[in-house]
Structure formats: C-alpha cells, structure tokens
Amino acid sequence: MYTRPGPAGAEDSTLSRRDRVHALMREEVLSGRITPHTRLGEVRLAEHFGVSRTPVREALARLHSDGLVERRDNGFYVAVPNLAELRDLYELRVALELRGIARAMEDRTIRHDPRILVAELDRWEGLRAGPPAPDPSFVLLDEEFHAALSRASGNGALTESLVSVNQRIRRVRMYDFLTGDRITSTITEHIQIVEHLRADELDAAYRALHEHVGASMEVVLERAQRALTQMALHSDLF
C-alpha cells in the first residue's frame, strides 16, 4: 500500500523525539532516581514525557540492549548492579589490560603495532582539542581505545577476552563518564599511555595503564554504590 510521505522534517522530528526520550530515560536510570522496584510501564512513561508509546518502547529496547534495564515477567525494570561481580570482572579486566604490555616487557621481540598507536594518538589528541560533553555513551569510545591498545600488542585472544569483559561491565562503567573532569582525565591518560608505548617506555606505560584502570574502577564502584543508595531512598517516579 502506498503511503504518502509526511511533511518535510517529519522524519527528523520523529528521530529527535526518539533520541530525546531515550536520553531522558537513560539519565533517570543512571541517576538512580527510579527505584529497582518500579515497573517501567509504557503508558505512564509516555504520559510523563508527553509522547506516544512508540519512542518509549524503542527507548526501553535500547536501554535493555545497554544492560541498563532488565525484562521480567511483567515488564521492564532498572537493572541493579551486582557490585561483588563487578569488582571480580574489573580485576579480570585489569589483568587482561596489563598482560598486553607485560608480554612485551618479557619478550623484547614483541613490539606494539605502531600504526595502531599512531591512529589512537591522533584520535585522542583530537578529542583533547575538543572534549565532548559528559555522556555515558563515552564508554564506547573508551572501550574502543582499550581494545585497540590490546590489539596492538599482537595477542588476539587477549583482545577478544577483554572485549567480552568490557561488554559485561559496560552498563555500570557508564557511571565513569558523568562529569567533565572524568572525560578530560581519561583523554589525557590515554594519550600518556600511548606516548609511553611509542617511546618504548614499557615500564612507564605499564604503571600508567595500571593507575588508569585502577582509578576508573574506584570511580565506577563508588558511583554505582551511590546510585544504589539513591534507588533505595527515592520514591517511584512512574
């Protein structure tokens, strides 16, 4: 059946509405203002945001894909971080990250791929020149950096394992990028790590990477715990 196209800009309006609802719902989830006992009903959410159920349904699907909400028998709920499991996975992440440099320290014939290092250095210097606003989705850029760093070390199995671990902790690592100072410090630290590797300063690169991922872990755990506290204290919004 032929459907007459809508007025100019209608599609853009639909997309912006969809993105706006997703951004607002994500902020509510990450802030801890929605309790884990609150069912995220489409009708009430649509009324709250003044939209139809379609952008709400799409936003819930995206949040579910990110691991921020979970589906239960009677609908969607905020996914509650398991801090004990998170710490275990973070420790595994640290081990995988550092192993990429450690193997080069143990075998001096192993060198990080200079093409990957140069590409990452250019990318993050560009971000330093124009830092993005704080946003949980910055975690994806961060994951790409760490995967590239691991890939540059030449062990594909390490990289595959690291990518898998990062996907599992992504939903909570988003808490790491809610402030401007964390964005700028992450960018600076990434650049420093790459510069050490390019200069073949493996000891310094190892220490810098260890401090970098360790600091991230403490920030994430502290903010995730704060979010859990807020979830317990705040009344249901929807």
Residue 98 sits in the same domain as residue 20: no
Count how many domains the chain has: 2
Residue 111 sits in the same domain as residue 203: yes
C-alpha angle 44-46-50 in degrees, rounded to nearest 5:
120
Q: Of 55, 80, 105, at which residue does a domain stop?
A: 80
Nearest residue to 216 (alpha-carbon basis) of 151, 142, 158: 142
pLDDT in tens, 176-200: 888 999 999 999 999 999 999 999 9
5 is a domain residue: no
SS (H, E, C) 19-78: HHHHHHHHHHHHHCCCCCCCCCCHHHHHHHHCCCHHHHHHHHHHHHHCCCEEEECCEEEE
65 is a domain residue: yes
Coil, helix or strand at residue 108: coil
Give how far Cα 161 sits from Cα of 101, 158, 167, 219, 220, Å.
15, 5, 10, 23, 21
Residue 88 sits in the same domain as residue 200: yes
Domain that holds residue 160: 83-228
2 is a domain residue: no
Residue 209 sits in the same domain as residue 187: yes
Contact between 162 and 93 under an 8 Å Cβ cutoff? The reply is yes
Tokens of 231: 């979830």
pLDDT in tens, 88-107: 888 899 999 999 999 999 99
pTM: 0.70
pLDDT in tens, 78-90: 887 677 888 888 8
Residue 108 sits in the same domain as residue 219: yes
Q: Of 80, 108, 131, at which residue does a domain stop?
A: 80
Query: At 228, is the pLDDT very low, low, confident or very high (cuts 50, 70, 90)?
Result: low
Residue 93 sits in the same domain as residue 159: yes
pLDDT in tens, 27-80: 888 766 787 788 999 999 999 999 999 999 999 999 998 778 999 999 999 887
> How far apart, in whole angstroms, are the C-alpha atoms of residue 172 and residue 90?
11
